[in-house]
Amino acid sequence: MRLLVVGKGGREHALCWRLNQSPSVWKLFCTVGNPGINSLATPVPIEPNDIRRLADFAAQERIDLTVVGPEEPLTLGIADEFAARGLALLGPDRAAAQLESSKSFAKQIMREAGVPTASFAVFDDVEQARRHVRQLGAPMVVKADGLAAGKGVTVCDGPEAALRATEDAMVRRVFGDAGRRVVIEERLSGQEISFFALCDGAGALPLGMAQDHKPVFDGDRGPNTGGMGAYSPVPQFDAALEERIMREVVEPTLRVMAARGTPFRGVLFVGLMVDGGRLNVLEYNVRFGDPECEALMMRLEGDLAQALLAAARGQLAPEHLRLSPKSAVSVVLASGGYPGAYDKGLPIGGLQRIDGNEPSDAKIRWAVEQVRVKVFHAGTASTQGRLVTDGGRVLVACAMASTLERAVAAAYEAADMIEFKGKHVRRDIAAKALAGLA
């Protein structure tokens, strides 16, 4: 198979890494790429949102399947363009991608499907939103309706914070056009988890659970980011919960989308809040999460390319994929100042101690303990032959081991072997899970 991956970050590096191991793949391309991706896939100098040029490239190069990493090309209609040209692509069309591009649309689908979710109200008028906030007078969540790079959700302890969040979105437009409309909903308590399913329009295969860490600082303090680390599986939750999520959330959602004439094909990400026996859906995404994808790709077994092609064709089968029972952890190495302003072009050192041939005590120990370690590039560039920082989330150190404790230790050991000025790492990835295991 000849594959094209659309995207250029850590998620796409992880996808290329895993797809490169698929026996059915003999040629792999990736849009723009980065220094990590470019060692696995031929870089294509077309931006991920340049849909027509990507379709031209896929037709010219006889691409068997295009896999889309980020959400924006999907919401812009890349699947529609490829379908019109008879080109295979894994990802929902523009109408189905509204599950992520519009939070009000997603809540409507949840309501139609009978999917459990927090009570909510949608507002286009800021004064009506203000009145609603004052009437609620309780902890609540204010969400910009559109895409806001994972930062459009504000969890508020009371009406004053909610009023500020509403005005940030609707008046000050800190999220741009994404904040023209807001969804204000009940604030839920419990543990937040991410669940993934590979969907072919009618059915789905579970791709496992992960737990992300959004706030920038330890203890879930500070502003939300795109994600500072994740781990999978989530030991607090068993196979019975996975079955319940498929039965109560994924399958009803697919039925409603199909009945609307917009069947969902691609990776469905379900953000959930679990509180004892209570289960509520927080949001849908229409692609792999990041950095959850990195952890999931570490655990994935089987021919990923064949499974994604089967989903794109509406022909998924249970034997297509499986997940290792081992634990995988991803730790993000971020630029100082992220998610605010940060410097670029800072030299990165130490990667050769992990990925290169340089011997180290850590690499010997990982081999003895059968720990797999991999570093994915998220925001890096090569300048005059030197690896430098080029984004807020720079690298993702990942490890997979027989226990969560070993995976956490190895991931942090790898993260500490990498150096660049201002490097910031959360130090409590999976700490809650480990405390529960102790």
Evaluate whether residue 103 is within a structural domain: no
* pLDDT of amino acid 438: 46
pTM score, whole prediction: 0.94
Q: Are residues 151 and 194 in the same domain?
A: no
* pLDDT of amino acid 318: 77
Matching residue, tokens 């102790």: 438
Q: What does each of the 438 residues of the chain score in pLDDT, given as a tens digit?
A: 999 999 999 999 999 999 999 999 999 999 988 999 999 999 999 999 999 999 999 999 999 999 999 999 999 999 999 999 999 999 999 999 999 999 999 999 999 999 999 999 999 999 999 999 999 888 999 999 998 877 788 889 999 999 999 999 999 999 999 999 999 999 999 999 999 999 999 999 999 999 999 999 999 999 888 899 999 999 988 889 999 999 999 999 999 999 999 999 999 999 999 998 899 999 999 999 999 999 999 999 989 999 999 999 999 887 778 899 999 999 999 999 999 999 999 999 999 889 877 778 888 899 989 999 999 999 999 999 899 999 999 999 999 999 999 999 999 999 999 999 999 999 999 999 998 764
Query: What single DSSP character describes residue 64?
Result: S
Give me the DSSP letters along 170-199: HTS-TTGGGGSSEEEEEPP-SEEEEEEEEE
Evaluate whether residue 386 is within a structural domain: yes
* pLDDT of amino acid 437: 64
Q: Return the CATH number at 414.
A: 3.90.600.10
Q: Return the CATH number at 6.
A: 3.40.50.20
Cα(263)–Cα(257) distance, rounded to whole angstroms? 5
The domain boundary, picked from 152, 186, 220, lies at 186
SS (H, E, C) 254-311: HHHHHHCCCCCEEEEEEEEEEECCEEEEEEEECCCCCCHHHHHHHHEECCHHHHHHHH
Query: Which residues pair with residue 375 across a beta bridge?
Result: 397
Contact 294, 133 (CB under 8 A): no
Q: Number of helices and strands (H, E) in the chain?
A: 16, 23
Q: Are residues 199 and 319 in the same domain?
A: yes
Matching residue, tokens 């927080």: 282
Evaluate whether residue 127 is within a structural domain: yes
Q: Are residues 213 and 317 in the same domain?
A: yes
Q: Are residues 346 and 429 in the same domain?
A: yes
Q: Are residues 356 and 428 in the same domain?
A: yes
Q: Are residues 344 and 420 in the same domain?
A: yes
Q: Are residues 307 and 353 in the same domain?
A: no
124: which 2 tokens? 């286009």
Range of the domain at 125: 119-186
Q: Return the CATH number at 249.
A: 3.30.470.20
Handedness of CA 79, 257, 75, 250 (dihedral sign): negative
How many structural domains is the chain composed of? 4
